[in-house]
Homo-oligomer: A and B are copies of this chain.
């Protein structure tokens, strides 16, 4: 029996806040891919003890945001082209599932909210507001995942997406693709509107595959292959 008035105990522990802070620092690009995370510097940066810091690092490592190199220290995970391709393929499967589940399970309100957010996205075509765009996209996915009523999926998709965020710098510069993106997402939304979960899923997978291709092309163009 969870009361409506129950206090939020989640963030009470310093540990949880530290994990959030560190994750935020990575996702925001403040700590860039490849950066070494020296314990002494990090403890000063966050004002916590070494023990706590190490606990947080373990957590983010198992989320894939940090790579642990024994005796050398943790490093912000840097994505290579092959790893990026793999991430996108898994993402296709999860996003496809999300669309299919949303179609079956979402409430009318959630459905409506999704359509509204999509309209907001459509209104942005032509304008140059990368921040608003990123936010609207985030809203879209948040709404989509919410409507799946599947917390496991929500968690896994979020974690996967967090790892992909690092590539945003690559995709942003190719933002001329936005009209195409919109068309692809539009097909997903239409399928959801029609109640056709299977098609929504297929369209979502196609969309992710297209995005993955853009990333691969950027890798080639910039010759970003690592050792």
Contacts and interface: CB of A to CB of B under 8 A. Distances in A.
B86 A150 contact: yes
A89 B62 contact: no
Contact of A87 (B55, B93, B152): B152
A58 interface: yes
Interface in A83-103: 83, 86-87, 89-90, 92-94, 96-97, 101
Interface in A28-48: none
A196 interface: no
A194 interface: no
Contact of A93 (B56, B94, B155): B94
A89 B55 contact: no
A142 interface: no
A138 to B, nearest CB: 21
A97 B93 contact: yes
Interface in A115-161: 150-153, 155-156, 160
Contacts of A177: none
18 contacts: A10-B70, A51-B54, A58-B58, A58-B62, A59-B61, A59-B62, A62-B62, A83-B151, A86-B151, A86-B152, A86-B153, A89-B150, A89-B153, A90-B97, A90-B150, A90-B152, A93-B97, A94-B94
Interface of A: 9-10, 12-13, 15-16, 51, 54-56, 58-59, 61-64, 70-71, 83, 86-87, 89-90, 92-94, 96-97, 101, 150-153, 155-156, 160
Given A9-B70, A59-B61, 14 more contacts: A9-B71, A10-B70, A59-B59, A86-B150, A89-B97, A89-B150, A89-B153, A90-B150, A90-B156, A93-B93, A93-B94, A93-B96, A93-B97, A94-B94
